[in-house]
């Protein structure tokens, strides 16, 4: 008898909402999809400036006379000069050295170009060097403070040849990709030599002057272009819930499973953002989600504050709250998913809540008395009927 009475009391309380404070209301994903935006591969470049640059020459005109300069060092010069004449030994060559330690792996690089800006200065009576070669230099032991014609390091294979326009101030670029990638895979230091295509080759007084790193602007450099990152499609599936605590203290928790759309393998290096909107469409929370365990592709987020605190202690209204999660992998397309929470808050005023609780308890008590009275009446009639029969 008492078990029946207790069961009916619990059913009465549950039907009147008394037990909602003890339960967690769950929400499931109403929409799971992949949204692909227009994808334009982003061209990523990196510029590396030389650690050393200088030029060397055997002779120079000083006071209208040729002077031996085989032991001269031009490391402090603002120019890098490449020249050739009909006289043997009056050529000039430029050397540049670069540290490649900041670059990514060779597999990520599409091209590397050596860039120099040519000034418009020419000595009287000199023309421009038409073809300037970029050559490999295997020996990186030289420095701009000590390199001279007599101790210059040897140059190797031809990398590229560029035609230089006479009298123009322009940027010129040599493709040095294979050599730079080899050096990047090796000691991560690369030296290059610029020289005239036909040294001592019958050209009278040919000269090209480029700005060195000692000049204020137009520094020589390596222009590194990276390969576009692979396009990766993502799928995001959301699940979560919101916990009713006492007096509108509702916290939201969300879990996102991010996988590769083709292989369905978990994606651990995605950028996951979460935005939550109130029933009026106002954004009141924005954050990043973090992976729960490395390699699982499962990202979690839980609000540190209650919904009411996030809303500035305004009264929490009944309505649909939207959780919008967006996942991106490097520079590829974006996947999104939306989770809806239907929130029906408890009364704001504690007095109202206590009144409702008292009303519910009174109703439960009345129900219990009625049930007891009915059951007691049945028991009494059964006993009387038994006596009459006997």
Q: What would the mean pLDDT of 31-48 be, rounded to a whole number?
A: 55
Q: Which of these, 192, 56, 8, lies nearest to 115 by C-alpha position?
A: 192
Q: Which of these, 26, 3, 9, 56, lies nearest to 254 by C-alpha position?
A: 26
pLDDT band at 365 (very low <50, low <70, confident <90, very high): confident
The gap between the terminal CA atoms of the chain, to the nearest Å, is: 25
pLDDT greater at residue 346 or residue 297? 297
pLDDT of 153 strictly over 90: yes
Over residues 309-324, the pLDDT tens digits come to 666 666 666 777 778 8
Superfamily of domain 2-41+231-343: Macroglobulin (MG2) domain (2.60.40.1930)
- What residue spans define the domains of the chain? 2-41+231-343, 45-226
pLDDT of 335 strictly over 90: no
Distance CA 386, CA 239 (A): 61
Distance CA 176, CA 82 (A): 18
Q: Which of 12-26, 88-102, 159-173 has the lowest mean pLDDT?
A: 12-26
pLDDT band at 75 (very low <50, low <70, confident <90, very high): very high
Q: Which of 143-152, 210-219, 244-253 has the lowest mean pLDDT?
A: 244-253
Check: CB of residue 259 under 8 Å from CB of residue 275. Answer: no
Over residues 95-115, the pLDDT tens digits come to 999 999 999 889 989 999 999
pLDDT of 202 strictly over 60: no
CATH code of the region 45-226: 2.60.120
Supply the mean pLDDT for the chain. Answer: 75
Distance CA 377, CA 385 (A): 12
How much is the pLDDT for 294? Answer: 84
385, with CB counted inside 10 A (0-12, 13-18, 19+), is exposed
Element (H, E) at 111: strand 109-117
How much is the pLDDT for 220? Answer: 95
Distance CA 211, CA 348 (A): 74
Distance CA 194, CA 50 (A): 14
Residues near 350 by Cβ (< 8 Å), separated by ≥ 6? 247
């Amino acid at each position: 008898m008492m078990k029946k009475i207790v069961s009916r009391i619990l059913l009465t309380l549950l039907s009147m909402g008394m037990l909602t404070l003890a339960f967690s209301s769950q929400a499931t994903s109403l929409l799971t999809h992949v949204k692909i935006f227009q994808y334009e591969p982003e061209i990523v470049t990196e510029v590396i400036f030389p650690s050393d640059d200088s030029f060397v020459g055997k002779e120079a005109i000083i006071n209208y006379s040729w002077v031996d300069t085989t032991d001269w060092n031009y490391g402090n010069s603002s120019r890098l000069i490449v020249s050739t004449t009909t006289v043997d030994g009056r050529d000039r060559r430029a050397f540049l050295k670069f540290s490649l330690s900041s670059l990514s792996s060779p597999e990520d690089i599409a091209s590397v170009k050596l860039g120099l800006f040519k000034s418009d200065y020419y000595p009287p009576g000199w023309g421009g060097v038409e073809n300037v070669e970029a050559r490999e230099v295997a020996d990186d032991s030289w420095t701009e403070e000590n390199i001279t014609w007599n101790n210059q390091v040897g140059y190797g294979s031809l990398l590229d040849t560029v035609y230089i326009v006479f009298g123009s101030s322009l940027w010129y670029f040599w493709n040095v990709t294979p050599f730079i990638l080899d050096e990047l895979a090796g000691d991560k230091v690369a030296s290059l030599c610029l020289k005239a295509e036909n040294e001592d080759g019958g050209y009278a007084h040919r000269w090209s002057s480029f700005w060195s790193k000692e000049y204020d602007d137009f520094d020589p450099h390596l222009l590194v272009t990276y390969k576009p990152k692979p396009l990766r499609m993502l799928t995001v599936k959301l699940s979560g819930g919101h916990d009713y605590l006492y007096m509108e203290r509702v916290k939201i928790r969300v879990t996102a499973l991010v996988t590769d759309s083709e292989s369905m393998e978990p994606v651990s290096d995605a950028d996951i953002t979460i935005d939550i909107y109130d029933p009026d469409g106002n954004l009141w929370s924005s954050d990043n989600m973090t992976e729960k365990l490395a390699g699982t592709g499962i990202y979690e987020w839980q609000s540190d504050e209650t919904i009411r605190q996030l809303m500035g202690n305004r009264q929490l209204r009944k309505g649909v709250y939207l959780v919008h999660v967006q996942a991106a992998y490097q520079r590829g397309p974006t996947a999104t998913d939306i989770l809806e929470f239907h929130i029906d808050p408890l009364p704001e005023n504690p007095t109202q809540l206590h009144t409702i609780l008292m009303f519910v308890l009174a109703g439960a008590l009345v129900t219990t008395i009625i049930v007891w009275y009915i059951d007691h009446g049945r028991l009494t009639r059964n006993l009387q009927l038994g006596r009459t029969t006997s």
